[in-house]
Structure 1
Amino acid sequence: MLDTVTLRVAFGLVAICVLALFYGATYRSTRSSYSGWWCASLTFFIVSALLFLFNGSPAQVVANPLGNTTGVLGAACVWAGGRSLRERRVRLWQLLVVPATVLVVSFADDPRTDIWSGGAVYLAGMACLIGASARELALVLRDLGAGGAARVQYRFVLTAMAVVSAVIAVFYLARTIAFVVVGPTHPFFLAVFGAQVTTLLMMVLLVVVTFSMSALSHEQQTSELRVQATRDGLTGLLNRSEFLRAAQRELDRGPAHGDAAVVVADLDRFKSINDGLGHAAGDRALTAFAAACQEVVGVRGLLGRLGGDEFVLLVRGAPAEAVVEEIARRYRGDDASVMPTVSFGIATVVPGDDIDLAVADADGALYEAKSAGRARAVRAPRADERDGSQQDRRRTA
Structure 2
Amino acid sequence: MDTMTLRVAFGLVAVCVLALFYGVTYRSTRSAYSAWWCLSLANFVLSASLFLLNGTPAQVVGNPLGNAVATLGAGCVWAGARSLRERPVARWELVVVPVVVLAASLLDDPRTDVWSGGAVFLIAMSVQIGRSARELVLLLREAAERDRRAQFRFAVRAMGVASTVIAVFYLARALAFLAVGPTHPLFEVALGGQATTLLTMMLLVVVTFSMSALSHEQQTTELRRQATRDGLTGLLNRVEFLRAAQRAIDDGPARPETAVLVADLDGFKGINDGFGHAAGDRALTAFADACQAVVGLRGIVARLGGDEFVLLTSGTPAEEVAAAIARWYRGEDDGPMPTVSFGIAAVLPGDEIGPALARADQALYRAKAAGRARAVRYTDRPPFLVEGRRSA
Aligned residue in 1 for 2:351 = 353
Query: Any idea what the Cα deviations from partners look like across 1:230-271, whole Å, max 9, x if unmatched?
Result: 100111100000111111110110323332111100011111
Note closer, same or farther for the CA distance 1:158–1:380 as it changes in structure 2 (3 Å cut).
Answer: same
Aligned residue in 2 for 1:389 = none
**Partners of 1:252 and 1:352 within 8 A in 2:** yes
Query: Any idea what the Cα deviations from partners look like across 1:27-82, whole Å, max 9, x if unmatched?
Result: 11001111001000001101111111121122211111111111111001101111
What are the residue-to-residue correspondences of 1:73-112 with 2, within 5 Å? 73-112=72-111
Cα offset, 1:292, TM superposition: 0.4
What are the residue-to-residue correspondences of 1:217-366 with 2, within 5 Å? 217-333=215-331, 338-366=336-364
Cα offset, 1:190, TM superposition: 1.2
**Partners of 1:137 and 1:158 within 8 A in 2:** yes
Amino acid at match of 2:66: G
Cα offset, 1:100, TM superposition: 0.5
**Partners of 1:65 and 1:107 within 8 A in 2:** yes
**Partners of 1:256 and 1:317 within 8 A in 2:** no
Note closer, same or farther for the CA distance 1:336–1:172 as it changes in structure 2 (3 Å cut).
Answer: closer
Q: What secondary structure does 1:144 align onto?
A: helix
Cα offset, 1:273, TM superposition: 1.2
Amino acid at match of 1:46: V
State the distance in 1 between where 2:339 and 2:25 align: 48
Q: What secondary structure does 1:311 align onto?
A: strand
How many percent of aligned residue pairs carry the same amino acid?
Answer: 70
State the distance in 2 between where 1:221 and 1:110 align: 46
Q: What secondary structure does 1:55 align onto?
A: coil
Cα offset, 1:195, TM superposition: 0.5
Note closer, same or farther for the CA distance 1:289–1:42 as it changes in structure 2 (3 Å cut).
Answer: same
Note closer, same or farther for the CA distance 1:337–1:185 as it changes in structure 2 (3 Å cut).
Answer: closer
Aligned residue in 1 for 2:53 = 54
Amino acid at match of 2:30: R
In structure 2, list runs of 5 or more residues that go unmatched: 382-392
State the distance in 1 between where 2:146 and 2:372 align: 44
* Structure 1 range deviating more: 97-106 or 273-282: 273-282
State the distance in 2 between where 1:335 and 1:96 align: 33
State the distance in 2 between where 1:240 and 1:108 align: 60
Note closer, same or farther for the CA distance 1:258–1:166 as it changes in structure 2 (3 Å cut).
Answer: farther
Aligned residue in 2 for 1:393 = none
**Partners of 2:261 and 2:343 within 8 A in 1:** yes
Query: Any idea what the Cα deviations from partners look like across 1:189-238, whole Å, max 9, x if unmatched?
Result: 11210111111111122122232122111111111111111100111100
**Partners of 2:286 and 2:332 within 8 A in 1:** no
Amino acid at match of 2:330: R
Aligned residue in 2 for 1:118 = 117
List structure 1 segments (4+ residues) > 4 angstroms apart after TM superposition: 145-148, 334-337
**Partners of 2:263 and 2:309 within 8 A in 1:** yes
Query: Any idea what the Cα deviations from partners look like across 1:347-372, whole Å, max 9, x if unmatched?
Result: 11134311111100100111111111
Note closer, same or farther for the CA distance 1:12–1:276 as it changes in structure 2 (3 Å cut).
Answer: same
What are the residue-to-residue correspondences of 1:118-137 with 2, within 5 Å? 118-137=117-136
Query: Any idea what the Cα deviations from partners look like across 1:263-307, whole Å, max 9, x if unmatched?
Result: 100011111111111111111111110000010000000000000
What CA RMSD, in Å, does the superposition of the two structures yield over aligned residues?
A: 1.7
**Partners of 1:255 and 1:350 within 8 A in 2:** no
**Partners of 1:253 and 1:351 within 8 A in 2:** no
How many residue pairs get aligned? The number is 381
State the distance in 2 between where 1:337 and 1:194 align: 62
Aligned residue in 2 for 1:178 = 176
Amino acid at match of 2:246: Q
Note closer, same or farther for the CA distance 1:5–1:355 as it changes in structure 2 (3 Å cut).
Answer: same
State the distance in 1 between where 2:204 and 2:24 align: 16
Note closer, same or farther for the CA distance 1:134–1:372 as it changes in structure 2 (3 Å cut).
Answer: same
State the distance in 2 between where 1:142 and 1:350 align: 35
Aligned residue in 1 for 2:191 = 193
What are the residue-to-residue correspondences of 1:140-219 with 2, within 5 Å? 140-144=139-143, 151-219=149-217
Aligned residue in 2 for 1:44 = 43
Q: What secondary structure does 1:117 align onto?
A: coil
State the distance in 2 between where 1:257 and 1:12 align: 61
**Partners of 2:279 and 2:336 within 8 A in 1:** no
State the distance in 1 between where 2:125 and 2:65 align: 14
Aligned residue in 2 for 1:391 = none
Amino acid at match of 2:151: Q
**Partners of 1:361 and 1:380 within 8 A in 2:** yes
In structure 1, list runs of 5 or more residues that go unmatched: 386-397
State the distance in 2 between where 1:121 and 1:24 align: 35
State the distance in 1 between where 2:267 and 2:345 align: 23
Cα offset, 1:154, TM superposition: 1.1
Q: What secondary structure does 2:376 align onto?
A: strand
TM-score (norm: length of structure 2): 0.94
